[in-house]
Amino acid sequence: MLSSLILLTAVQLAYSYNGMINHFSGDVTVVTGDQSAKAKIGAKVGSGDSVKTGKDSLAMLLMSDGAVIKINEKSEHQVPKEAEKELTLKAGSIFSKIPKQAQEQQFRIRTPSAVIGVRGTQFFTSFGQDDKTKADVWMCVNEGSVEVTSTANQKKVLVHEGEGVLVPDGKDVTPPKKYEWTKGLNWKMDPKDGDLVNRSTINYEKKILREEYD
């Protein structure tokens, strides 16, 4: 019986993914269960924990495998329970810089509308920009390539450097395309590089996305 419990604990630990806050500004909260606390440098973010950012706020996470996550304003990001190298974007947007993964491994970001899988790259993901598009996912790649899978029909699309896709709620992933405006995103991931705040926004009502995808 004891050996079974030890084995079960070992399996649970194997699927634990965690990190720490290494930079933040503004209103940032770490939620653990039904408890919440204001962010602090060095605060641990582990299995089941969420990080929430308020208006004009930002948080940087350094994950245990070396992945760096920049959480933009008005966003919510969670480390799911019993998930290996997987994060959940529940609202808002994040930048991710993922170190090269082993051949049999893949880092994933999950949303209700799409699952994004990578083996080493830098990319931007946005989920729920406003009430009209609250279940849409927009992502673009700065380095490497990313596999995007629509949860509606499991369609997979490979997105390469400089390209972006949209995943409308309940629909296919759109064909990857290059968008000049994505170069305006703030891809900086190290506080030593200066201002980390992303001031480029996605406007679904203009030709930037929806009209070009139709």
DSSP track, 84-133: SSEEEEEEEEEEEEEPPPPTT--EEEE-SSEEEEESSEEEEEEE--SGGG
pLDDT score at 206: 41
pLDDT score at 53: 97
8 A C-beta contact, residue 60 and residue 24: yes
Per-domain boundaries in the chain: 2-213
Rounded alpha-carbon distances, angstroms, from residue 137 to 23, 89, 96:
26, 10, 15
pLDDT score at 16: 72
**What is the rounded CA–CA span in Å between residue 92 and residue 15?**
26
pLDDT score at 182: 83
User: Could you report the per-residue pLDDT of 58-76, keeping only the tens digit for each?
Assistant: 999 999 999 999 999 999 9
146, β-bridge pairs: 159
Q: Which contiguous run of DSSP H or E holds residue 175?
A: none
pLDDT score at 81: 86
Tell me, what DSSP letter sits at residue 48?
A: T
> The tokens of 78 are what?
């969670």
pLDDT score at 181: 75
pLDDT score at 203: 54
Q: Domain 2-213: give its CATH code.
A: 2.60.120.1440
**What is the rounded CA–CA span in Å between residue 157 and residue 174?**
8
**What is the rounded CA–CA span in Å between residue 204 and residue 114?**
18
pLDDT in tens, the chain (214 residues): 434 333 333 344 445 789 999 999 999 999 999 999 999 999 999 999 999 999 999 999 999 999 999 999 999 999 998 778 899 999 999 999 999 877 777 899 999 889 999 988 999 999 976 555 567 898 999 999 999 999 988 989 999 999 999 888 878 899 999 987 788 899 999 999 999 999 886 654 444 444 444 4
pLDDT score at 13: 42
pLDDT score at 131: 55
User: Could you report the per-residue pLDDT of 135-176, keeping only the tens digit for each?
Assistant: 789 899 999 999 999 998 898 999 999 999 988 887 889 999
Angle 146-149-152 from CA coordinates, rounded to 5°: 160
> The tokens of 70 are what?
């920049």
**What is the rounded CA–CA span in Å between residue 155 and residue 201?**
27
8 A C-beta contact, residue 79 and residue 20: no
8 A C-beta contact, residue 59 and residue 87: no
- Length of the chain, please? 214
pLDDT score at 180: 78
Amino acid at 159: V
